[in-house]
Chains A and B, each alone.
Chain A
């Protein structure tokens, strides 16, 4: 990474929760991470490693117990329309059409209706859903729904996209298709993307860097630079080298996690 200021910077971030039983749990411990502008970074790790907590902290939905989260050198204190989160369950409004959903963010910004319509249509075009503009979300497949929520995010031209296991509910074929679509859009618009997943293949397909996390307490185990050109062929030898490396490390983390708890699955 260059020595300019990072797009996103987490310094000594700690997040503690009080569990339902009343004892304190450390979701994230003393975590440092820098993400460059226009970078795609994937966060992977077993459940309980705090990857969703990190993305919620960066997106401003939660506040760190200690440490600082900064974007563009400014401390994150609340969600910001310049940093849009994409959820696994889409968060589409069922009473609005596809176009209506994409217009939502623009309406929230009080952009004039004509301009908003132009931007929304351009955004729908980008995800290839122009023909579905008048449909309601319940008429769409899961993959199409997620494309609508991506279009809704892109319409407000955010500099950061946070994606929290966005393709986890989709079947394998749709998931691969959307990964390719996401890369195409990223190459066109170059937003910074922070992508949480539990799929190692997905992480290697998408990430310029893959951050492997470990639980108890949540921390960064390893950061892997995936030096492969896009588009990445999932069957390539190079791909499988990174894959092997990540899998081995992941199994190590997973074993440690299981040893750490008395009972296992």
Chain B
């Protein structure tokens, strides 16, 4: 049990030191201003015991996965199309470049006007956060398909459908995967923002709700939970990426 792998030793030591310093530092301030780790653990327990925690987590995860999948389903085909037809890309690129820097949060007032309060505006914001990274990496992945792959396909007389589905799509796939990966990160970050702004449930809402009661321990519990869940999702994504990389013959 105590035989931890060596490479885990250092990060764990750092983590323990961080918690210890936090615990010591927090003593100097009133707990409602700067709660100690022990307060946060108690807050966790309280939230878990009265049952709200699991509800918020599942609502957040459902919103996140729904909006993310929706973004992927729209962005990948659009990206494949725009990457393949450079004239269309040329036409639409300036518009994309203007829309992309607009933070999804800036859309929020309009999102509430259009979709009302509830799931929809949060889903819309997460959708936007995931959409651009997937779209843009898909476009560049298609454009970066080596010319020789296409020459070979043309030389063997592959029809356009075969060239697209069996050369361009698989050749672009590792690049698209990078976009899916980036999008998980940005979408998860915006999940909280979306829920803080308008939703009545979810981890973001839980934090806002805790603020209204000045429960800083619960705020920190929520923040930590978001961090840990984000890490788990990110790691899961990495594992999928790695597995696909092996399948694609590009694993290190």
Contacts and interface: CB of A to CB of B under 8 A. Distances in A.
A83 B146 CA distance: 21
Given A137-B249, A138-B249, A91 B170 contact: no
Contacts of A108: 153, 156-159, 162
A104 B249 CA distance: 17
Contact of A89 (B148, B162, B166): B148
Give the contact-size bracket for chain B.
20 to 34
B151 A95 contact: no
Contact of A80 (B157, B158, B173): B157
B235 to A, nearest CB: 24
Given A108-B156, A138-B250, A91 B162 contact: no
Contacts of A139: 249
Contact of B151 (A87, A104, A136, A137): A87
Nearest to B162: A108
A91 B152 contact: yes
B167 A93 contact: yes
Contacts of B166: 104, 107
B167 A79 contact: no
B159 to A, nearest CB: 7
A81 B157 contact: yes
A107 B163 CA distance: 11
A129 to B, nearest CB: 16
A59 B155 contact: yes
Contact of A95 (B146, B158, B173): B173
A191 interface: no
Contacts of A80: 155, 157
B154 interface: yes
Contacts of A89: 148
Interface string B214-252: 000000000000000000000000000000000111100
Nearest to A89: B148
Interface in A98-121: 104-105, 107-109
Interface in B130-152: 146, 148-149, 151-152
Contacts of B249: 94-95, 136-139
A59 B247 CA distance: 33
Contacts of B149: 91, 93
B156 A104 contact: yes
Nearest to A59: B155
A265 to B, nearest CB: 28
Given A59-B155, A81-B155, A81-B156, A93 B250 contact: no
Interface string B197-211: 000000000000000
A156 interface: yes
A203 interface: no
A87 B151 CA distance: 10
A139 B157 CA distance: 27
B171 interface: yes
Given A95-B173, A138-B249, A109 B157 contact: yes
A156 B249 CA distance: 25
A84 B171 contact: no
Contacts of B171: 93, 95
A246 to B, nearest CB: 30
Nearest to B251: A138
A91 B151 CA distance: 8
Contacts of B162: 107-108
Interface in A51-90: 59, 61, 78-81, 83-85, 87, 89-90
Nearest to B150: A91
Contact of B250 (A90, A94, A104, A107): A94
8 contacts: A61-B154, A80-B155, A81-B156, A85-B151, A85-B155, A91-B146, A108-B158, A108-B162
Interface of A: 59, 61, 78-81, 83-85, 87, 89-91, 93-95, 104-105, 107-109, 136-139, 156
Closest 8 CB pairs of A and B: A136-B249, A105-B156, A108-B158, A81-B157, A91-B148, A91-B152, A108-B156, A94-B249
Given A78-B154, A85-B155, A108-B159, 16 more contacts: A59-B155, A61-B151, A79-B151, A79-B154, A79-B157, A81-B156, A83-B155, A87-B148, A87-B151, A93-B149, A93-B167, A94-B249, A95-B171, A95-B248, A105-B157, A138-B249
